[in-house]
């Protein structure tokens, strides 16, 4: 029998992949009928402006998009956001961008798995089948349907990490270990990867077939690999270590439905299927039938057969991946005890133990490749039977995509998730364009709050079928509210009170909340589910008749109201309500009926002297303030949610001050106002005695300039600088050493 030319095999494979990619994009595009992918957790921007806003939000340590502002502690997905934005500039039709992204992610996962299995000396055909398995498994498909593409990107980054780890250990090139660590650092795009990828990589280093590599070198490789990943994420790590974020590590979510929902399906039978990636609850709903039920056990049974029959593991790689194969069993045992999990620091990151199926799915792909490679010793009939089983598996798993069953309308109530598309109403784009021209010194409130249930579209109507509100998330003006299952810190009580008022069916009183949160616009969507729409519309129309608001945009799908004279993001209040010495609430309402229900209605002290204040928003973390006509003390309110890391600093004039600003904290007190916002009392007289940027006029009043800045943003800059310098220097030194090293010199 004539042998296959291996180089031609790979060339033919890549040509096939390119042609298939084009066909895949065209097919998906046709199935989705030209709309934007929406539903589940898909939140792809729909306009160029939204892509720019996404970049602005993800590159900042403070997100002013929703929840009255909150700390953004991780920036590990920034590189992926930038890649997506670059892709959106190449593709003129923005609705096509996520489709191309899906195809690239799926095919890249297939190809990198194929190359990793080849590197394990597994035959090309077996490696091919292993790669196909990974990219067609229910776990992989389901994450695509859900929009959890960060998880799928990590499959490829894991493969690249393993390839360079193997190359570094076998070729004695430390620079390859460094590159593996870079891919690990990029994998932080999904938080659980902090545990997933080290589990797989460390297991492979310790159990892999590296007979010529001593334990010391393995340990040093692990250390360099992990350190590189951490250094690459120095901006995030440095900020979290130096300035801890209590809301990020609040474990309250561990007992929420979001975290324990998958535990309901953790039956022994489902766990057996899950090990081989043959089970996923949402995929399961869409794929009923005897054939699917049978096929879902095939991979698990094949791998357990390998475990039983192959008793001598001359390649320790198999041992390591067998341990990883059973990870979901251990995860579910621990995950079932929520009290135990809540005591583990940072457990909120790994709260949904079902996500550890990432590890077992990857292990299944590797072990399946090993299994096929072992078939060459069997007779033809046995091999034919096994290949038939595998063909059934691939056919059953791929068929829903080929016949469009997963790109279709859900036919059941419940988590019947499909890949769906939506053509947003023209009013959404026109309203956004109009808002884009407004001053960024105010907020906008989008109603209804949270996901959108579209009444007239059955694809997006009903539980589990709603869409993410991308026009609110990426609003050109900072948003006011959103729905979140995490702890929101100081805004928690305030947001619940405002949400309750929006849902008030009797006599809602939104006006005090709107002006106190600097909300200038209310965008009311008229064709989505909003039980209290008529009441809220009547209330807003009443504000118009009272000359407190105007109708800003009136379309078929949107009515936007403009609130007149709301207070800006930063202002100096007319009155101070002092609840006690440790909790000062400021308010600027002259009429007690306009005071927030959350604030004390009996003023104990007034600050009547008015000051002239102007501010310029540089970005979400930095505001330049100019104050004139100030007395000995100046009260200041910033309506973003309170965070102790908001500081008043000297305006930066030098490069050093740009990186490390001079805090003026000895001249002010900082506290919560209006139950959620930032408040300061600045001791102007004392400050102006010691600082040159403050001047005193002949009438005894003061003029000064300063900055309101968010401290973690400066640590982000320092972290970026340190990370870049460290990796560059390390890379140069290691590369130089690799070049100079002879075969007898140790690599560390």
DSSP string, 363-409: HHHHHHHHHHHHGGGS-HHHHHHHHHHHHHHHHHHHHHHHTTTTSS-
The residue to which tokens 């990857």 are assigned: 362
Q: For position 486, which CATH number holds?
A: 3.40.50
pLDDT computed for residue 191 by the predictor: 76
What is the per-residue pLDDT for 744? 47
User: Residue 61 and residue 40: Cα distance in Å, rounded?
Assistant: 26
**588-609: buried (b, 16+ CB within 10 Å) or exposed (e) per residue?**
bbeeeeebbebbbeebeeebee
Q: What is the pLDDT of residue 274?
A: 77
Give yes or no: residues 478 and 512 share one domain: yes
| 519 vs 580, residue with greater confidence | 519
- Catalogue the long-range contacts made by 370-379 (C-beta closer than 8 Å, 24 or more residues apart): 370/120, 370/122, 370/126, 370/306, 370/317, 370/318, 370/321, 371/302, 371/303, 371/305, 371/306, 372/122, 372/123, 372/125, 372/126, 372/129, 372/130, 373/122, 373/123, 373/126, 374/306, 374/310, 376/123
Q: Which pLDDT does position 544 carry in this prediction? A: 95
Q: What's residue 586's pLDDT? A: 44
- Give domain status of residue 685, yes or no: yes
Q: Which of 58-72, 400-414, 641-655 has the lowest mean pLDDT?
A: 400-414
Strand-strand pairing, 420-422 and 443-447 = unpaired
Tens of pLDDT, residues 632-678: 888 888 988 888 899 998 887 666 666 677 888 888 888 888 778 88
DSSP state letter for 343? T
Rounded CA-CA distance 735/741 in Å is 10
| pLDDT grade for 482, boundaries at 50, 70 and 90 | low
The pLDDT, as a whole number, for residue 591 is 33
pLDDT at residue number 588: 37
Q: Is the pLDDT of residue 125 over 50?
A: yes
CA dist 105 and 109 (Å) reads 6
Give per-residue pLDDT as tens, 510-549: 888 888 888 999 999 999 999 889 999 999 999 999 999 9
Question: What pLDDT is recorded for position 426?
Answer: 95
Segment 616-620 shows an average pLDDT of: 89
pLDDT of residue 359: 87
Mean pLDDT score, 9-30? 86
**Tokens of residue 272, six digits:** 């057996």
Residue environment code for 347-377, b if the CB has 16+ CB neighbours within 10 A, otherwise e: bbbbbbbbbbbbbbbbbbbbbbbbbbbbbee
Give the pLDDT band of residue 708 (cuts 50, 70, 90): very high
Token pair listed for 540: 């807003």
In terms of domains, do 547 and 575 share one? no
Average pLDDT of 552-557?
A: 94
Mean pLDDT, residues 98-115: 93
Same domain, 510 and 449: yes
What is the CB-side half-sphere exposure of residue 562 using CA atoms within 13 A? 12
Range with the largest mean pLDDT of 64-68, 248-252, 460-464, 740-744: 460-464
Label residue 7 by pLDDT band (50, 70, 90): low
Query: Which pLDDT does position 654 carry in this prediction?
Result: 66
> What is the pLDDT averaged over residues 57-73?
82
| Same domain? 365 vs 466 | no
Give the whole-angstrom CA distance, residue 157 versus residue 142: 19
Please give the Cα distance from 319 to 317 (Å, whole number): 5
Residue that is written with structure tokens 């196909």 in the block: 132
Task: Report the candidate in 456, 586, 471, 571 with the shortest Cα–Cα distance to residue 518.
Answer: 571
Are 532 and 604 within one domain? Answer: no
Same domain, 282 and 367: yes
Q: How confident is the model at residue 21 (pLDDT cuts 50, 70, 90)?
A: confident
Instruction: Please indicate, yes or no, if residue 63 is contained in any of the structural domains.
Output: no
Q: Is residue 722 part of a domain?
A: no
How far apart, in whole angstroms, are the C-alpha atoms of residue 508 and residue 501? Answer: 5
Question: Are 315 and 440 contained in the same domain?
Answer: no
Least-confidence region, from 48-57, 144-153, 412-421, 529-538: 412-421
Q: Are strands 62-63 and 646-649 parallel, antiparallel or unpaired?
A: unpaired
Q: Is residue 384 a part of any domain in this protein?
A: yes
Percent of the residues in the chain that have a pLDDT greater than 90, as a whole number? 20
Query: Is residue 358 a contact partner of residue 158, using CB atoms and an 8 Å limit?
Result: no
∠ CA 601-603-605, nearest 5°, is 165
In this structure, of 35-39, 68-72, 479-483, 621-625, the range with the lowest mean pLDDT score is: 479-483
312 pLDDT tier (thresholds 50, 70, 90) = very low
| pLDDT score of 590 more than 50 | no
The answer on pLDDT for 592 being more than 50 is: no
pLDDT bin (cut points 50, 70, 90) of residue 381 is confident
Q: Which of 113, 175, 618 is nearest to 369 (CA)?
A: 113
Q: Cα–Cα distances in Å, from 130 out to 116, 117, 372, 436, 478?
A: 10, 8, 9, 49, 46
Alpha-carbon span 305 to 307, nearest angstrom: 5
pLDDT of residue 354: 67
Nearest-angstrom CA–CA distance, 359 and 361: 5
Residue scoring higher pLDDT (129 or 337): 129
Q: At residue 25, does pLDDT exceed 60?
A: yes
Q: What is the pLDDT of residue 561?
A: 96
Strand bridging mode 70-71 / 62-63: antiparallel
Q: Choose the most confident range, by mean pLDDT, from 336-340, 463-467, 560-564.
A: 560-564
The per-residue pLDDT of the chain, averaged, comes to: 80
pLDDT score recorded for residue 743: 47
Give 3-state DSSP helix, strand, coil % of the chain, rounded to 5. 55, 15, 30
Residues paired with residue 585 on neighbouring β-strands, in sequence order: 577
Q: What is the model's pLDDT at position 339?
A: 61
Residue 466: pLDDT over 80: yes
* Long-range contacts of residues 506-514, Cβ cutoff 8 Å, at least 24 apart: 508/532, 508/535, 508/536, 508/539, 510/536, 510/539, 510/540, 511/543, 511/548, 511/563, 511/594, 512/589, 512/594, 512/595, 512/596, 513/596, 514/445, 514/563, 514/566
Same domain? For 374 and 439 the reply is no
pLDDT in tens, 297-306: 878 888 887 7
Per the model's pLDDT, the better-predicted residue between 287 and 203 turns out to be 203
Q: In which domain, by residue range, is 617 found?
A: 570-712
The pLDDT score that the predictor gives to residue 370 is 86
Does any domain span residue 642?
Answer: yes
Do 284 and 176 share a structural domain? yes
Residue of 362, 374, 372, 370 whose CA lies nearest to 203: 362
Residue 353 has pLDDT above 70, yes or no: no
Residue 655 lies in a domain: yes
Residue 110: count of CB within 10 angstroms of its CB: 26
130 & 269 share domain: yes
Domain boundary among the residues 532, 563, 594 is at 563
Residue whose C-alpha is closest to residue 350's, from 533, 131, 550, 199: 199
Q: Is residue 115 domain-resident?
A: yes
Say whether 153 sits in a helix, a strand or coil: helix
Give 96's DSSP letter.
Answer: G
Q: Do the Cβ atoms of 491 and 497 come closer than 8 Å? A: no
Q: Distance between terminal CA atoms of the chain?
A: 47
700-726 mean pLDDT: 84
- For the chain, helix (H) and strand (E) counts, in that order, are 29, 20
Number of domains in the chain: 3
Determine the pLDDT at residue 214.
87
In 3-state terms, what secondary structure has residue 174? helix
If we measure between CA atoms, which residue out of 434, 425, 621 comes closest to residue 521? 434
Residue 209 and residue 293 in one domain: yes
Specify the 3-state DSSP secondary structure of 679.
strand
Q: Among residues 530, 563, 596, which one ends one of the domains?
A: 563
Identify the residue with better confidence: 310 or 595.
310
Amino acid 435: pLDDT: 92
Taking residue 5's Cβ as centre, other Cβ atoms within 10 Å add up to 10
> What's the pLDDT at 598?
38
The answer, yes or no, to whether residue 595 has pLDDT greater than 50, is no
Do 298 and 138 touch, CB atoms closer than 8 A? no
Poorest-pLDDT segment among 91-95, 116-120, 606-610: 606-610
> In which band, very low, low, confident or very high, does the pLDDT at 110 lie, cut at 50, 70 and 90?
very high
Query: Does residue 704 belong to any structural domain of this protein?
Result: yes
| Per-residue model confidence (pLDDT) at position 288 | 66
Q: What is the Cα–Cα distance from 6 to 695, expressed in whole angstroms?
A: 79
Percent of residues, the chain, with pLDDT higher than 70: 80
Coil, helix or strand at residue 627: strand
Assign 395 a pLDDT band (cuts: 50, 70, 90). confident
Nearest residue to 454 (alpha-carbon basis) of 465, 443, 438, 442:
465
State pLDDT tens for residues 357-368: 888 889 988 988
The pLDDT, as a whole number, for residue 344 is 60
501 versus 2: which is more confidently predicted?
Answer: 501
Kindly give the interhelix angle for 298-309 and 268-275, rounded to the nearest 10 degrees: 70
Residue 272 and residue 305 share a domain:
yes
Is residue 373 predicted with pLDDT exceeding 80?
A: yes
């Amino acid at each position: 029998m004539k042998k296959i030319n291996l180089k031609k095999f790979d060339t033919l494979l890549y040509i096939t992949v390119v042609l298939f990619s084009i066909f895949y994009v065209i097919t998906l595009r046709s199935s989705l009928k030209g709309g934007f992918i929406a539903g589940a957790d898909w939140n792809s921007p729909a306009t160029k402006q939204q892509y720019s806003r996404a970049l602005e939000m993800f590159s900042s340590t403070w997100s002013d998009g929703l929840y009255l502002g909150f700390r953004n502690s991780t920036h590990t997905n920034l590189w992926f956001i930038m890649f997506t934005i670059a892709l959106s500039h190449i593709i003129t039709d923005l609705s096509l961008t996520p489709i191309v992204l899906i195809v690239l992610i799926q095919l890249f996962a297939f190809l990198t798995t194929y190359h990793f299995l080849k590197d394990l000396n597994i035959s090309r055909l077996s490696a091919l089948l292993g790669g196909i398995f990974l990219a067609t498994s229910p776990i992989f498909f389901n994450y695509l349907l859900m929009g959890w593409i960060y998880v799928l990107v990590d499959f490829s980054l894991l493969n690249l990490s393993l390839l360079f780890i193997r190359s570094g250990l076998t070729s004695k090139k430390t620079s390859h270990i460094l590159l593996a660590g870079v891919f690990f650092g990029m994998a932080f795009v999904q938080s659980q990867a902090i545990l997933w990828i080290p589990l797989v990589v460390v297991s492979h280093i310790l159990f892999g077939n590296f007979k010529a590599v001593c334990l010391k070198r393995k340990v040093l490789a692990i250390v360099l690999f992990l350190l590189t990943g951490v250094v690459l994420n120095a901006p995030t790590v440095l900020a979290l270590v130096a300035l801890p974020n209590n809301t990020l590590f609040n474990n309250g979510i561990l007992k929420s439905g979001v975290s324990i929902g998958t535990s309901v399906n953790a039956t022994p039978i489902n766990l057996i299927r899950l090990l081989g990636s043959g089970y996923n609850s949402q995929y399961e709903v869409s794929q009923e039938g005897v054939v699917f039920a049978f096929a879902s056990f095939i991979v698990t049974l094949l791998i357990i057969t390998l475990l039983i029959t192959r008793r001598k593991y001359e390649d320790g790689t198999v041992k390591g991946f067998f341990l990883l194969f059973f990870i979901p069993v251990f995860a579910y045992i621990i995950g079932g005890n929520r009290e135990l999990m809540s005591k583990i620091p940072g457990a909120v990151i790994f709260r949904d133990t079902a996500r550890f199926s990432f590890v077992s799915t990857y292990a299944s792909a590797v072990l399946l490749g090993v299994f096929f490679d072992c078939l060459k010793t069997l007779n033809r009939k046995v091999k034919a039977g096994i290949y038939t089983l595998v063909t059934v598996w691939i056919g059953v798993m791929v068929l829903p995509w080929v016949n469009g069953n997963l790109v279709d309308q859900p036919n059941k109530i419940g988590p019947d998730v499909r890949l769906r598309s939506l053509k947003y109403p023209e009013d959404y784009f026109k309203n956004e364009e109009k808002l884009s021209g407004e001053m960024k010194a105010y907020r906008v409130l989008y109603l209804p709050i949270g996901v959108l249930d579209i009444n007239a579209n059955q694809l997006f109507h009903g539980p589990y079928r709603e869409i993410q509100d991308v026009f609110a998330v990426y609003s050109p003006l900072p948003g006011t509210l959103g729905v979140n299952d995490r702890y929101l810190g100081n805004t928690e009580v305030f947001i619940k009170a405002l949400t309750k008022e929006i849902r008030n069916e009797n006599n809602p009183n939104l006006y005090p909340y709107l002006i106190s949160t600097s909300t200038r616009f209310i965008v009311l969507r008229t064709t989505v589910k909003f039980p209290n729409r008529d009441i809220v519309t009547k209330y807003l129309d009443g504000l118009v008749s009272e000359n407190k608001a105007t109708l800003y945009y009136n379309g078929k799908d949107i009515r936007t109201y403009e609130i007149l004279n709301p207070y800006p993001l930063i202002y100096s209040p007319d009155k101070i309500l002092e609840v006690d010495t440790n909790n000062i609430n400021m308010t600027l309402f002259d009429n007690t009926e306009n005071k927030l229900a959350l604030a004390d209605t009996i003023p104990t002290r007034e600050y009547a002297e008015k000051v002239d204040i102007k501010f310029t928003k540089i970005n979400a973390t930095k505001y330049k303030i100019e104050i004139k006509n100030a007395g000995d003390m100046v009260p200041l309110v910033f309506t973003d949610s309170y965070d102790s890391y908001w500081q008043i600093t000297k305006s930066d004039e030098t490069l050093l001050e740009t990186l490390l600003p001079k805090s003026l904290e000895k001249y002010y007190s900082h506290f919560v106002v209006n139950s959620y916002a930032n408040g300061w009392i600045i001791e102007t007289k004392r400050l102006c005695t010691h600082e040159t940027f403050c001047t005193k006029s002949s009438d005894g009043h003061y003029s000064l300039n300063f900055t309101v800045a968010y401290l973690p943003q400066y640590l982000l800059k320092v972290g970026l600088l340190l990370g870049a310098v460290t990796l560059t220097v390390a890379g140069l030194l290691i590369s130089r050493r690799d070049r100079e090293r002879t075969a007898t010199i140790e690599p560390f």
